[in-house]
Chain A
Amino acid sequence: MLVKEITVLSGKGGTGKTSVAASLAVLTKSAVMTDCDVDAPDLHMLLKPEVLEKQEFKASRVAVIDDDKCVQCGKCEEHCRFGAIENVTIDPVLCEGCGVCAYVCPVAAIELEKRVSGYAFISKTKYGPMSHALLNPGEENSGKLVSLVRKNAKKIAEKENCELIINDGPPGIGCPVIASVGGVDVGLIVVEPTLSGIHDMERALGLLSHFKIPALVCVNKYDLNEENTSKIAEYCGSNGVEVVGKIPFDPIVTEAMVAGKSIVEYSPESRVSKAIEELWKQILKQI
């Protein structure tokens, strides 16, 4: 059984990815949801998952100096390329666990220890299963944790016979975003009609095209600047990308968030909810 996968991304932060993703979860009621924004996840605030399984995520190591053995020669500091050793003291936040310091230490005073970088969760919600995670603050390897979240989601989809996985993507275009779009059927970019938003959308489209992933665009708060909304439609048109949705601005979305609900649950008759329903219809035509 072929499971379809969509990732909601934006390039720019705060455009409404999570609000849209949560609404899609409610509308389909049969997808496996994932929150791939592992350092600042928000989807759980709208979907209220019950955690069934918690996995430790151990992706990196940290170097530790045994002060009893250390002779303060400074060779470790000389070779560390990450600036993590100052005054022969290791800063665990900057340490990338490469092992070079341990290798060059003449008295074997340095050991590399595995550290827990975060946790992955497998949960259930009112609208279906959910795979999410939390990266410990300051950690790297967010891409690896995103890959684990997606691996868990695929396992769940197979077990529960779900035909669709919807990934709530992180902001940016770097490591965790790349990990959240690899191999998906569609990347849905949510963009706001601002100059910054358009700039970032172009880079996000570049990312999807670099990895040969079909792109769809949805303009959020489109009526805040209809001129820019037209610019977006033009840009997409000339690049062969379809604009599949336009959502109006409405403070009721924030109200819904404060109430801990997705907008389509909080106010199903609102213009925003109707726009999202229409968006979903258009997306279904494409996958």
Chain B
Amino acid sequence: MTDFKEKGGGKEVNARIVIPVSDDKGIDAQLSQHFGRAPFYAIIDLDEEGNVIGQGTIANTSEHFGGVGLPPDRILQLKPKALITYGLGPKALRVFQNAEVAVLRTEANTVKDVVKAYNNNELQELTHGCHQAHHH
């Protein structure tokens, strides 16, 4: 896990987005295919103007466990406003919807592109879960 980097002089976090990614590069990371099986999650904090004021990464799998995955309630501990992903399982989707976390669909490849699209309100809600990773 990489330590969370903050900048922007202690500004208020307007939105925290969690995005499944395949590496630990944070804002420069590549998206991963499926929410549940992603090796990492990028955590991006945005201010009111959509500037990135904080970024970090947590591993979805511990190095001991090699691919197990964090259950959705652990993700909720991060207090996200939105999850942005290609797809995720129906059970997880329900958990996030019940917790009033927005689950949004994307086709973008990088976290940077996802953040841009989010700020421009281009992203649509993900309405149903899928069971396995497949190319979108």
Contacts and interface: CB of A to CB of B under 8 A. Distances in A.
Contacts, number: 34
Interface residues of A, number: 14
A178 B64 CA distance: 7
Interface stretch (A9-17, A121-129, A141-149, A186-194): A141-149
A143 B63 contact: yes
Interface residues of B, number: 8
B64 A175 contact: yes
Interface string A162-184: 00000000000001001111111
A104 to B, nearest CB: 23
Contacts of A178: 64-66, 68
Interface in B55-71: 61, 63-68
A235 interface: no
A181 B64 CA distance: 11
A143 B67 contact: no
A196 to B, nearest CB: 26
B67 A182 contact: yes
Contacts of A147: 63-64, 66
Interface in B34-78: 37, 61, 63-68
Interface of B: 37, 61, 63-68
Given A175-B64, A179-B66, A211-B68, 10 more contacts: A143-B63, A144-B64, A146-B66, A147-B64, A178-B65, A178-B68, A180-B66, A181-B66, A183-B61, A183-B68
